Amino acid sequence: MNGMVRGDRFILFGACLRAGKKLSWSGKVIQRNFFSWTVIEGAIAGSVCYLVRHDYRRETDPLAKARRNSMKDRAKELMWPIASGLVTWLIGWYAGEQFPALKGKPLPWDVVVAAAVIAVTGIAGWLHRRSPRNSTNWDLTWKDLFALYRTDWNCVKSLEHGLSDEFIPQLFLADLSGSEELKLRVVVEESSYKIGPDIQDLVFTYSDRLKNHLKSRFRAAIYKHEVDEKSKFSVRGFERKGNEVLLRLQSLDYDDVLATHYQMDFRRKRTKSLREYLLELAPRYSIGGWKGKGLSLPNILGINVLIFTSSGRLLLQKRSSHVAVRPGQICASGSGSVNREDVVADCLANVTREAHEELALDPNKIRAGSTRFLGLTRDLVSHGVVDCHYCAITEEASTDILGKWKHAEDKKEISDVFVFEFGAALVEGSLDTAGKVRFARKFQELIDEYWEDLSLPLKSGLKLWSIDRLR
C-alpha cells in the first residue's frame, strides 16, 4: 500500500492507540494478555485508518472483483498497526528489563516507534529519490501532470477504474475511432539529431551517473545494444492525412535520451529542472511542438505491441526492479525503442522484434495479416517520448512462451511473464452487441485487477485496442 508509512497515518494510529489503551486497562484479562491487546489495538487503529484513507464509494462497488480488492486492502491496513503494537510492546519490555527505573512507567513507546519508523522511511525515500534512474519521476499522477500540461488535456483519454474514470497522461495523436484502418509511414531524414545549445548545460552533467547505473545493472552487450550509435530515431515531425500517419525521423544517439527524457525532474542546487525550464519556453501549460527553441528534446520513437495467442490469451511482462525506466511495472508483450533495422522502405516492418528479444517469441509464428497499427501517443511524464502501438496474434502456445522466456536475450529486463485470458472470440473477428458487452466486462476485469501496476504505455495500448474492438 502506498502511503503506508506517511506521518498522518502514524498520528492517527497514535491517537487510536491511546484510546485503545484506556479501554484495555478496564479489563484485567486484556491487561495481562499483550497479544489480545495488540489485536484489539490493531483492529481499532486499522479500521479508522481504512475509513479515513479510502473512499466510501469503493465499498459500495457492485463488482465482485472490486469488493475482493477492498478486502485485501483492509487486511493490509490492519496488519501494520498490529505489527507496530507488537514492536511497541517488545521495546517497552526490553527497556523495562534493561532500565529498572523505567519499569511500570507509562512511556509513549508507540510514539517513539512511530518517530523511528518515520525517520527510517524518510531516509530511504531520500535515497530512492537520489537514485539516478529516478531523476524522471515515473510516479507522477495525472493530477500532477494536469497542472503542468493543462493546455494539452484535450488530447488525453481516460480508462474506467472502479466507479470513476482515470486519465492516462499521454497525448493520443492518432487512433482507430474514425477509420477502419490506420497506416503508419516514416520518412528518415539525412541529418542527425543533436541536443540544442539552449539545454546542453542542463543535461550532460548528470547523465553519466545514469549511464554508470545501467552499466552496473545490465550485461555489457545489452547496454551496447541500446547505445549503438545512430541506431535509434528521433521524431521531428508528425502529420495525419485521413487514415495515414506520417512521422519524420532523424537518427539519434541513445545517450542523448539518457541525458534528457530520463532526467526531466532532476534539480540542481538553486536551478530549475529540465521540465520546468522547457515549460517556461513552450506555450503555457503545454508540451509544445516538435521543433523550436526550448523544444529540442529527442522525442525518441518507441514501440509497444500487444501479442495474443490463438486461444485469446494476452501476454504481459513485469519489468525488473533494476531497470531505469518504469521499474517493477507491467508492460506490453513487447516494448522498447524503434531501431534502424525495424524500418524497411517507409514503414515499420519488424514490430515484434522486442517481443522476440524479451520473450524469445518466434517471429515466424506471427499469424500473417494479424499485425495491426492501433495508434500513436506522446508521453507527458517523459515530456515527449512517442510510442506507436500495435497488436498481433502468435500461433505459439502460451505454455511454450512461459517456459522459454527465461532464455531470451533481454531476460534481465524482466522479472515475470504471465497471461490474461480474453478468449479467442473476444480477440478475433467482429463483435456483435452481446460480444461487446462481454468484451467490456472482461476488459474491465483486467484494468481493475492490475491497475496500480500497469505502465502508462500499456494503459494507452489497451485503450487503443479497446477502441478498435468496440467500434
- Summary mean pLDDT of the chain: 76
Go through 8-43 and write b for each residue having 16 or more CB atoms within 10 A of its CB, e for each that does not.
Answer: ebbebbbebbeebeeebeeeeebeeebeebbbbbbe
Instruction: Convert the pLDDT of each residue in 344-364 to its tens digit.
Output: 888 888 888 889 989 999 999
Of residues 334, 396, 62, the one with CA closest to residue 70: 62
- Tell me, what DSSP letter sits at residue 340? G
Give the model's pLDDT for residue 412.
Answer: 82
Dihedral-angle region of residue 332 (phi above 0 means left; psi in -120 to 50 means alpha; beta otherwise)? beta
Q: Is 463 helix (H, G, I), strand (E, B) or coil?
A: helix
Distance CA(220)–CA(16), nearest Å, equals 53
Distance CA(79)–CA(213), nearest Å, equals 35
**Average pLDDT over every residue of 313-320:** 93
Instruction: Convert the pLDDT of each residue in 122-164 to its tens digit.
Output: 666 665 555 666 678 877 888 888 888 888 898 999 998 877 7
Higher pLDDT, 186 or 325: 186
pLDDT level of residue 466 (50, 70, 90 thresholds): very high
Instruction: Convert the pLDDT of each residue in 360-373 to its tens digit.
Output: 999 999 999 899 99
Give the model's pLDDT for residue 135.
Answer: 76
- Tell me, what DSSP letter sits at residue 192? E
β-pairing, 386-394 with 301-309?
parallel
Contact predicate 252/297, CB 8 Å: no
Distance CA(146)–CA(286), nearest Å, equals 10
Half-sphere exposure of 126 (CA within 13 A, CB side): 6
Give the model's pLDDT for residue 229.
Answer: 46
Give the model's pLDDT for residue 105.
Answer: 55
Distance CA(315)–CA(418), nearest Å, equals 6
pLDDT level of residue 27 (50, 70, 90 thresholds): very low
Write out the H or E segment, with its range, that includes residue 190: strand 183-192
Distance CA(323)–CA(202), nearest Å, equals 23
Q: What φ, ψ does residue 429 adopt, rounded to 5°?
A: 75, 180
pLDDT of 463 strictly over 90:
yes
Give the model's pLDDT for residue 95.
Answer: 64
pLDDT level of residue 469 (50, 70, 90 thresholds): very high
Distance CA(83)–CA(325), nearest Å, equals 33
pLDDT level of residue 40 (50, 70, 90 thresholds): low
Instruction: Convert the pLDDT of each residue in 282-311 to its tens digit.
Output: 667 788 777 655 457 889 999 999 999 999
User: Which residues, at least 6 apart from 335, have a Cβ–Cβ distance to it below 8 Å?
Assistant: 302, 303, 304, 305, 354, 358, 455, 457, 458
> How buried is 260 (Cβ within 10 angstroms: 0-12 exposed, 13-18 middle, 19+ buried)?
buried
Question: What percent of the residues of the chain are helix, what percent strand, and what percent coil, each to the nearest 5?
Answer: 50, 20, 30
β-pairing, 313-319 with 414-421?
antiparallel
Contact predicate 13/45, CB 8 Å: yes
Of residues 325, 298, 256, the one with CA closest to residue 384: 298
User: How is the chain split into domains, by residue range?
Assistant: 7-130, 142-469
Distance CA(280)–CA(273), nearest Å, equals 11
pLDDT level of residue 446 (50, 70, 90 thresholds): very high
Instruction: Convert the pLDDT of each residue in 239-290 to its tens digit.
Output: 988 889 999 999 988 888 888 888 888 776 657 788 888 888 766 778 877 7
Contact predicate 244/183, CB 8 Å: yes
User: Within 10 Å of residue 360's Cβ, how many Cβ atoms?
Assistant: 20
The string of DSSP letters for 243-290 reads TEEEEEEEEE-HHHHHHTGGGTT---TT---HHHHHHHHSSTTS---S
- Tell me, what DSSP letter sits at residue 331? E
CATH tag, 142-469: 3.90.79.10
Query: What residues are paired with 392 via a beta bridge?
Result: 307
**Average pLDDT over every residue of 205-216:** 62
Instruction: Convert the pLDDT of each residue in 374-398 to its tens digit.
Output: 999 999 999 989 999 999 999 999 9
Distance CA(204)–CA(199), nearest Å, equals 9
What does the longest C-alpha to C-alpha distance in the chain come to? 85
β-pairing, 313-319 with 330-331?
antiparallel
Listed range (124-138, 172-186, 326-340) with the worst mean pLDDT: 124-138
Dihedral-angle region of residue 259 (phi above 0 means left; psi in -120 to 50 means alpha; beta otherwise)? alpha
Higher pLDDT, 118 or 221: 118
The string of DSSP letters for 425-459 reads HHHSS---HHHHHHHHHHHHHHHHHHGGGB-HHHH
β-pairing, 244-252 with 183-192?
parallel
Give the model's pLDDT for residue 441.
Answer: 94
Going 466 to 421 to 310 to 400, the CA torsion angle's sign is positive
